[in-house]
Amino acid sequence: MTKTDAPAQTSGLAGVIAGKSSIGFIDGKQGILRYRGYDIHELAEKSSFEETVFLLWNGELPSRAELADFTTFLASQREVPAPILEFIQNAPSDANPMGLLRTAVSALGQYDADAEDMSDAANKRKAGRLTAQLATLVAAIERCRQGLEPVAPDAALGHAANYLFMLRGERPDATESRALDVCLVLHADHGFNASTFSAKVTSATLSDMHSAITSAVATLKGPLHGGANQRVREMLDDIGSADRVPEWVESKLAKKERIMGFGHRVYKVEDPRARHLRAGAEALSDKGNPALLDISSRLVDVVNEAKGLQVNVDFWSASLYSYLGLDPLSFPAIFALSRISGWTTHVMEQYADNKLIRPRAEYVGPGPREYVAVDDRA
């Protein structure tokens, strides 16, 4: 076996500092998450998605007038070109929602007047359009999967409330809008997670923002990232009742299978976002099956005792989204609805101080060999 002279490597880049960023701070041992220096607990309790996006993109919280202007700007960018809506309407009824979203986001680039303009101003406009349009796409994908017509956005509603409106065709109540708004704040950014890192790698080649965001959506699709809360919901259904939890967990761990919604590459204590998602799920629990919360609470205790694992962001969001009436297949797309704000921020940060991202591999294949002509091979 021939090895390259590569420097030390770690499996999955775990623990590797892959660059500098002034966007988010995470301390996995103490369970701290901050956006631009602001603690996630304060943002979850006091901020809104629009304010959080402004903070991420501009580095500072907006004044009241700036927030009003920004909210109006985002709401004005929600329209999606008709051919893209037609593509969604004509897609196979069993198409994967994240697969559809990936293609639709890529297609948006073909209709964007700023598509190939790499100026800061154009990138900010594209970030705004992508953030606003992604919600329209996700709602349209879900409506069409249910055999319904897409609903046009309502500019009078905030980002979270408008999403639920476009999904249902009727305005949500204040508790529902606020619960989703908090989810969007909590999911907005999380350092160099897999999808954000994909966006960075793509933008570091100086490819355009739509290409970078398409990479991010494709990466978020996987069950070890954005697909985890969909699997959490399937797991809760599979368990069925709280009294079955110990036996179910024992059998999973005996088979060395993963329990979805537990464990995290960075957090070694409870994910700081989890408590707000749990509170949101509890606030909405009269809107759905209360067993989801009973099973979840029991799982937290049993998995922690058996394996010392804590819940991650996907655990409680599965129940919360269920109580909002969202289909489990659409859960990863709801994640994208928020994370688009973090992705676009990281893409802009990458462009501002760019260096191609190109690591090396440790070669573990065969050593040098003689080429054998095809007719002489055994």
Active site residue 27: no
Is residue 197 involved in binding ligand COA (CB under 6 A)? no
Residue in the structure block whose two tokens are 């329990």: 259
**Which residues 6+ apart lie within 8 Å of 214 measured at CB?**
102, 105, 106, 109, 202
Which residue, 163 or 262, has its beta carbon nearer to ligand COA? Answer: 262
Quick check: 307 binds ligand COA (CB under 6 A)?
yes
Candidate list 259, 320, 329, 334; residue touching ligand COA; CB under 6 A: 259
Percent helix, strand and coil across the chain, each to the nearest 5: 60, 5, 40
Is 314 known to be catalytic?
A: yes
- Per the CB < 8 A criterion, the answer to whether 275 and 222 are in contact is no
Q: Of residues 18, 148, 224, 269, which one binds ligand COA by CB under 6 A?
A: 224
171 binds ligand COA (CB under 6 A): no
* Binding to ligand COA in span 8-27, by CB under 6 A: 12
Determine, following the binding rule CB under 6 A, whether residue 180 of this chain makes contact with ligand COA: no
Residue number with CB closer to ligand COA (210 or 252): 252
Written as one letter, the residue type at 122 is A
Closer to ligand COA by Cβ: residue 7 or 12: 12
Using CB under 6 A as the binding criterion, the count of chain residues that bind ligand COA stands at 16
Choosing from 124, 168, 171, 258, the residue that interacts with ligand COA (CB under 6 A) is 258
Position of minimal CB gap to ligand COA: 263
Taking CB under 6 A as the binding criterion, the range among 130-138, 208-216, 289-297, 308-316 that sits at the site for ligand COA is 308-316
Listed as own residue / partner, the contacts of 208-212 with beta carbons closer than 8 Å and 24 or more positions apart are 208/109, 208/115, 208/116, 208/118, 209/109, 209/123, 209/126, 209/127, 209/130, 209/344, 209/347, 210/105, 210/106, 210/108, 210/109, 210/112, 210/115, 210/126, 210/130, 211/106, 211/109, 212/343, 212/347
- Of 164 and 266, nearer to ligand COA (C-beta) is 266
The helix (H) or strand (E) run that includes residue 24 is strand 24-27
User: Is residue 215 within the footprint of ligand COA (CB under 6 A)?
Assistant: no
Closest to ligand COA by CB, 75 vs 311, is: 311
Residue 260 CB, shortest distance to ligand COA, in Å, is 5
Instruction: Establish if 314 lies at the interface with ligand COA (CB under 6 A).
Output: yes
b/e per residue 47-79 (b: at least 16 CB within 10 A): bbbbbbbbbbbeeeebeeeeeeebbeebbebbe
225, 237, 294, 327: the catalytic one is: 225
Locate tokens 């100086």: which residue? Answer: 206
Q: How far is the CB of 178 from ligand COA (least distance, A)?
A: 23
Instruction: Give the whole-angstrom CA distance, residue 149 versus residue 166.
Output: 10
Q: What does the radius of gyration of the chain's CA atoms come to, in whole angstroms?
A: 22
Nearer Cβ to ligand COA (169/308): 308
Please classify residue 259 by burial: count the beta carbons closer than 10 Å to its beta carbon, then call 0-12 exposed, 13-18 middle and 19+ buried.
buried
Q: Which residues contact 279 (CB under 8 A, 6 or more apart)?
A: none
176 counts as binding ligand COA under rule CB under 6 A: no
Q: Is 186 in the site for ligand COA (CB under 6 A)?
A: no
Closest to ligand COA by CB, 161 or 260: 260
Q: Which of 263, 280, 332, 342: binder of ligand COA (CB under 6 A)?
A: 263
- The token duo for 252 is 């999973």
Token reading at 204: 């570091």
Task: Determine if 268 is a binding residue for ligand COA (CB under 6 A).
Answer: no
Which residue out of 39, 237, 264, 327 is catalytically annotated? 264
309 belongs to the binding site for ligand COA (CB under 6 A): yes
Q: Which stretch binds ligand COA (CB under 6 A): 30-38, 156-164, 198-206, 304-312?
A: 304-312
Element (H, E) at 84: helix 82-89
Q: Edge-to-edge strands of the sheet including 24-27?
A: 24-27, 32-35, 38-39
Catalytic residues, which ones? 225, 264, 314
Contact residues toward ligand COA (CB under 6 A) are 12, 224, 228, 258-265, 307, 309, 312-314
